[in-house]
């Protein structure tokens, strides 16, 4: 096909348009219940509300003496308030004694505030003398007291749906008395590499061959973002073989297919033909570098449309395309609220040559210099230079409308760690 015909058929989309078209085809998967010990990194499919206050009772934030604040009003080192100590209270126990004026209870951090008291005097402000304690500093009502519900109130939604669970949420679930949590099922993501030149990791490297890297970088990315990689191996650049491997993926119940290679305009770029013949192409080509020849479409299986993201084969292109499109697709399948990768503002240490009208994603190493991030491009930015990814902390986004990229420019950097 002539270039002009292709342009008419497949207008190049902006990153935003392309992402919207991908995500508009994707719905969150079903929920499932898992023990919280297995829930790290999963996405909540329920609003988690508190069934009771945390803490459930007012308790002391310090080791010291529970008192009536009024009893300490005039206390000073020269004229301490003298109170009789009527009991000792450890965390985990409730006082059966009531504090009346002139008395106190010795109390340990976390123990419930005893009846009759309204403040705690820390040990440092006291002197013990037999059954008596001398208070050398006045305290006010509520001092060192953690009220019931200080952390979480009954009925409050503490963890909303769509949150990727981190260790702190797991701890909160335990504090809420939740042994299990409802999360979205993890998507199964089929990964197919295409190319006559590819051999597997342990196969001999015959002349003209290279090792299949993309399957493994993509599988790791899928895992990192909460999916289950389903490895479909390598297909030669033949329509029949690619179609067959994709079909195998569908048989294995994948929710999303990632294909690398075979989507540009070379003689053997047959992935688009397979999509057009077996399903549909939604769009082809995105105004980005690397990653321009991205193809998106879907295949029908059991009355369901399974989205297919066809990514260019260069090892950097495929990883960047994943970060921009497949990552958001997986998070959408997971019902996650926040699809944006974490990013920081940084200053470019060097200019970047060959800026064109596309959005460029430049691999950078970040240096924290006096609180400002300096972004150092990690050498040759060719889309086959996988070592530029290995050295990178992030991807600096160079907007479409810049015609030059000079040292000192302020850029946003998507973090890769
Ligand atoms: P393609 O997008 O198929 O034209 O491939 C572009 C470049 O990426 C070529 O140099 C391929 O050899 C290389 N390539 C394609 N697939 C892979 C892969 N799975 N692992 C490593 N390199 C690849
Ligand atoms: Mg190829």
3-state per-residue secondary structure call for the chain: CCHHHHHHHCCCECHHHHHHHHHCCCCCCCEEEEEHHHCCCCEECCCEECCCCECCCCEECCCEEEECHHHHCCCCCCCCEEEEEEEEECCCCCCCCCCCCCEEEEECCCCECCCCCCEEEEHHHEEEECCEEEECCCCCCCCCEECCCCCECCCCEEECCCCECCHHHHHHHHHCCCCEEEEECCCEEEEEEECCCEECCCCCCCCCCEECCHHHHHHHHHHHCCCEEEEEEEECCCHHHHHHHHHHHHHCCCCEEEEECCCCCCCCCCHHHHHHHHEEEEEECECEECCCCCEEEEEEECCEEEEEEEECCCHHHHHHHHHHHHHHHHHHHCCCCCCCCCEEEEEECCCECCCCCCEEEEEEEEEEECCEEEEEECCCCCCCCCHHHHCCCEEEEECCCCCCECCCCEEEEEECC
Q: What is the pLDDT of residues 186-239, one digit of tens each?
A: 999 999 999 999 999 999 999 999 999 999 999 999 999 999 999 999 999 999
* For the CA of 197, the nearest atom of ligand 1: 12
Residues 218 and 322 in one domain: yes
Query: Can you give the pLDDT at residue 188?
Result: 98
385, part of any domain: yes
pLDDT of residue 376: 98
Whole-number pLDDT of residue 148:
97
Q: How confident is the model at residue 277 (pLDDT cuts 50, 70, 90)?
A: very high
CA 197 / ligand 1 centre spacing (Å)? 8
Write out pLDDT tens, residues 118-173.
999 999 999 999 999 999 999 999 999 999 999 999 999 999 999 999 999 999 99
My answer on whether 205 and 158 are in the same domain is no
pLDDT at 363 over 90: yes
Residue 326 maps to a domain: yes
Who has greater pLDDT, 266 or 246? Answer: 246
- Residue 236 inside a domain? The answer is yes
Chain segment 392-401, per-residue pLDDT in tens:
999 999 999 9
Residue 3 has pLDDT above 70, yes or no: no
Domain range for 43 is 36-52+152-184
CATH number at residue 171: 3.90.105.10
Kindly report the protein residue whose alpha carbon is nearest to atom 10 of ligand 1: 314
Domain boundary among the residues 333, 366, 391 is at: 333
Q: 338 in a domain, yes or no?
A: no
Q: Which ligand is nearest to the CA of 268?
A: 2
Instruction: Please check the confidence at residue 266 and state whether its pLDDT lies above 70.
Output: yes
Report how far ligand 1's centroid is from the alpha carbon of 193 (Å).
8
With a pLDDT cut of 90, the percent of the chain lying above it is: 96
Domain count, the chain: 4
Mutate to test the pocket of ligand 1, among 260, 263, 265, 309 (most ligand atoms within 8 A of CB): 260
Q: Which pLDDT score is estimated for 53?
A: 98
Residues 69 and 123 in one domain: yes
């Amino acid at each position: 096909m002539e270039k002009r015909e292709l342009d008419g058929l497949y207008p190049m989309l902006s990153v935003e348009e392309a992402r919207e078209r991908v995500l508009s085809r994707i719905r969150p998967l079903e929920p499932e219940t898992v023990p919280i010990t297995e829930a790290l990194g999963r996405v909540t499919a329920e609003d988690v509300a508190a069934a009771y206050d945390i803490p459930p009772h007012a308790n002391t934030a310090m080791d010291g003496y529970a008192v009536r604040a009024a009893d300490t009003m005039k206390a000073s080192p020269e004229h301490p308030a003298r109170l009789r100590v009527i009991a000792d209270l450890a965390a985990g126990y409730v006082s059966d004694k009531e504090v009346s004026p002139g008395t106190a209870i010795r109390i340990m951090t976390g123990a419930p505030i005893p009846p009759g008291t309204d403040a705690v005097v820390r040990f440092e402000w006291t002197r013990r003398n037999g059954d008596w304690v001398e208070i050398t500093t006045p305290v006010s009502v509520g001092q060192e007291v953690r009220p019931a519900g200080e952390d979480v109130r009954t009925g409050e939604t503490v963890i909303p749906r769509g949150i990727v669970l981190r260790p702190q949420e797991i701890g909160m679930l335990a504090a809420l008395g939740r042994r299990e949590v409802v999360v979205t099922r993890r998507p199964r993501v089929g990964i197919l590499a295409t190319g006559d030149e590819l051999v597997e990791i342990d196969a001999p490297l015959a002349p003209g061959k290279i090792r299949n890297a993309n399957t493994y970088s993509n599988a790791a990315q899928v895992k990192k973002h909460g999916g289950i990689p389903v490895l479909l191996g390598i297909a030669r650049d033949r329509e029949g073989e690619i179609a067959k491997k994709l079909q195998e993926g569908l048989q294995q119940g994948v929710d999303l297919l990632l294909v690398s290679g075979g989507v540009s305009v070379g003689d053997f770029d047959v992935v688009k033909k397979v999509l057009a013949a077996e399903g549909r192409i939604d769009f082809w080509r995105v105004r980005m570098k690397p990653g321009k020849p991205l193809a998106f479409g879907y295949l029908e299986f059991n009355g369901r449309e399974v989205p297919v993201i066809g990514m260019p084969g260069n090892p950097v292109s495929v990883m960047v395309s994943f970060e921009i499109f497949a990552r958001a697709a997986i998070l959408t399948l997971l019902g996650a609220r926040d699809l944006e990768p974490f990013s920081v503002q940084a200053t470019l240490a060097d200019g970047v040559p060959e800026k064109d009208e596309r959005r460029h994603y430049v691999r950078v190493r970040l240096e924290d210099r006096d609180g400002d991030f300096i972004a150092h491009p990690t050498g040759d930015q060719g889309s086959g230079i996988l070592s530029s990814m290995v050295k990178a902390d992030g991807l600096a986004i160079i907007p479409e409308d810049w015609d030059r990229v000079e040292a000192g420019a302020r850029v946003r950097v998507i973090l890769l760690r």
